[in-house]
Structure 1
Amino acid sequence: MAAPHTRRAGWAHLGLAPFGVYILLFLVVPTVVALATGFFDGDGRLTLDNLAALGEPVIIDAFLSSFWVSAVTAIVGALIGAVVCFALVGSRPDSILRSVVDAVSGVLAQFGGVMLAFAFIATIGIQGLVTRWLFETFGVDIFADGVWLYQVPGLLLPYLYFQVPLMVITFMPAMEGLRPQWAEAAATLGCSRWGFWVRVGGSILMPAFLGSLLLLFANAFSSYATAAALISQGAQIVPLQIRAALVSETVLGRENVAGALAIGMVVVMLVVMGAYSLLQRRTERWQR
């Protein structure tokens, strides 16, 4: 007769079965199919021509644009989010302020895509409320040098809109993990509050900060819907290059290049998430 704990483990595995099927059908299979297409031509023959397309100047520029947009929004978002976490670390976890910030961060971190693009178009678009108010009140034309909102630089503000809340969500647990005894011990040894954050707190939090920074980079690098809604012409970042390869009516026979682009993105994401995993393990050492 099977032991009780064995029966419980069997029921637990059975309960995870629907989630496993969901992951298999909607994550694993599409990923494998998308990556595999990069090694075949339109007639189903094995080829490396699609991978060779990664060296084309247009695609290299798209990767560079994706890199700098992701890096800038990740760094700025991480710094602003870290400041917010530092300001909140003294409040009680069950306080109204913390509850409001946690709730707002959870909502805004998931607020993206077409809704976010529309919000920015309605606010700071060519005929946006803030755009018209600045021009009519102060004579300031924010688009005097060009309509930057609908180009790659215009992605910075919308991306920061969800990067900062994501940083608050991911970095706040590390801030809360700092023990008051460490600050007291540092003060006993004559260390100032600033010295504690520079020599003790900063060193402890650095792996968590860098891990959150990498997570923000990966989040921006893989974002598609907001960019697709804002940038209607051209394929200036990698996700839009994939869309162009799949749906372009002017450049035919390039569908499988999307698979090669996906391979490039997966390689970048594997490197980023691998480094994130290493930093997370280092962070967990002092949280135990």
Structure 2
Amino acid sequence: MLTRPTPPPAPGVGAGRWRLRSLPTLLGVVPFGAYVVIFLIIPTLVVAIGAFAANPEDGGGFTLENIKALGESQVLDAFVFSISLSLASAVMGAVLGALLAYAVATAKPDGLLRRIVTSACAVLAQFGGVTLAFAFYATIGLTGFVTLYLQNHFDVDIFAGGVWLFELPGLTLVYTYFQIPLMVIVFLPALDGIRPQWREAAESLGGSTWQYWRLVGGPLLAPSFLGSTLLLFANAFSAYATAAALVSQGSPIVPLQIRTALTSEVLLGQENVGKALALGMVVVVAVVMWLYALLQRRTSRWLG
């Protein structure tokens, strides 16, 4: 029996149908695109343009004076302090958070312990700002109840060597408080991607636990661990509210330097200098996120 061949579709018909089918998907991306444009692209452009703009009092126009201000000693010290604080809290948070995440990963996937820990980490990772600063000040501040308890009962003064709570060690401790739960959230999926068969295969070949982690588990988790550490670095580098509430005098980190440039009643006309400082932070975070994307691309090869 002969059948009549189906005529080919008219030119443009298939493309038109594809557009109609993909229209709901494109509409679903519109809110995210609007969010990116409003809260990421536009502020970045405002900062970048303002960093090279002269003050209206000086006639406006293009200038490099704001960028040159980044080479001043107090600005360089602020960047060094911010990078040191972010790096120290990121490393501490990554190590301690990875250990906690491993303990959670060994529990039952649908067990009560895992649900409680992950829920608590989701809340504590966002616990910052004035609330966190007050919690630490009321606990181990100059008049905190732990400080007074140690002084009255054990004659121990934790501030005998100086008021370290408002310096790099204290800020690192405070930042680590919200870095650890964030590490648990971002590193736990990588630990869940480790298959038990890999360890069973290593043991069947006579490998020890140390050899398994050194030759199998460690190399597989290294990209995800380093990527999570970079994410913690960016999170600490951009943090503002906690340090602003804890440090009442001075501007040791870059976000506080930006606040001083924008709100100071002593040094007027420093708004564009603040935008230049913000542009410097954008560059640092952009480099960190680029490295994070490279590591995540490598991690996705075996997680998939």
How many angstroms does 1:237 deviate by? 0.6
Q: Write the deviation string for residues 10-59 of structure 1: whole angstroms up to 9, x where unpaired.
A: 12322332333233223321221122110011122100111111111110
Matched, 1:51 2:67: yes
Match status 1:238 vs 2:254: yes
SS at structure 2 position matched to 1:251: coil
Paired AA for residue 43 in structure 2 = P
Task: Look up the match of 1:111.
Answer: 127
Corresponding position: 1:40 with 2:56: no
Q: Is the 8 A contact 1:152 1:236 kept in 2?
A: no
The answer to whether 1:203 aligns with 2:216 is no
| 1:164 maps to 2:180 | yes
Q: What is the CA–CA distance in structure 2 between the aligned matches of 1:262 and 1:104, rounded to whole Å?
A: 32
Deviation at 1:249, TM superposition (A): 1.1
Amino acid at match of 1:179: R
User: 5+ unaligned residues in a row in structure 1: which ranges?
Assistant: none
- Secondary structure of 1:262's partner? helix
Of the three residues 261, 281, 294, the one matched with 1:265 is 281
Q: Do residues 100 (structure 1) and 81 (structure 2) align?
A: no
Q: 126-135 or 60-69: which moved more?
A: 126-135
Greater Rg over alpha carbons, structure: 2
Counterparts of 1:213 and 1:21 in 2: how far apart (Å)?
29
Report the counterpart of residue 135 of structure 1 in structure 2: 151
Aligned to 1:280: 296
Q: Which runs of structure 2 are paired with 1:151-190 in the superposition (5 Å)? A: 151-190=167-206
Task: For residue 211 of structure 1, report the CA deviation from its aligned partner.
Answer: 0.4
Distance 1:21 1:273 in 2: 21
Q: Distance in 1 between matches of 2:209 and 2:51?
A: 55
For structure 2, the 5+ residue unaligned runs are 1-12
User: Would you say how many aligned residue pairs link Structure 1 and Structure 2?
Assistant: 287
User: What corresponds to 1:223 in structure 2?
Assistant: 239
Shift of 1:117: 0.8
Query: Identity rate of aligned residues, in percent?
Result: 56
**Aligned-pair distance for 1:193?**
1.5
Counterpart of 2:7 in structure 1 is none
Higher relative contact order (CA 8 A, sep 6+): 1
Task: Provide the rounded CA distance (Å) in 1 between the counterparts of 2:290 and 2:87.
Answer: 17
1:126 aligns with 2:142: yes
Q: Please give the alpha-carbon distance, in whole angstroms, between the structure 2 residues aligned to 1:9 and 1:235.
A: 51
Alignment partner of 2:54: what SS? Answer: coil
Distance 1:268 1:23 in 2: 19
Return closer, same or farther for 1:156/1:17 CA change in 2, 3 Å cut-off: same
Aligned-partner Cα distance in 1 for 2:227–2:112: 28
Superposition deviation, residue 8 in structure 1: 4.2
CA-CA distance at 1:128 after TM superposition: 1.1
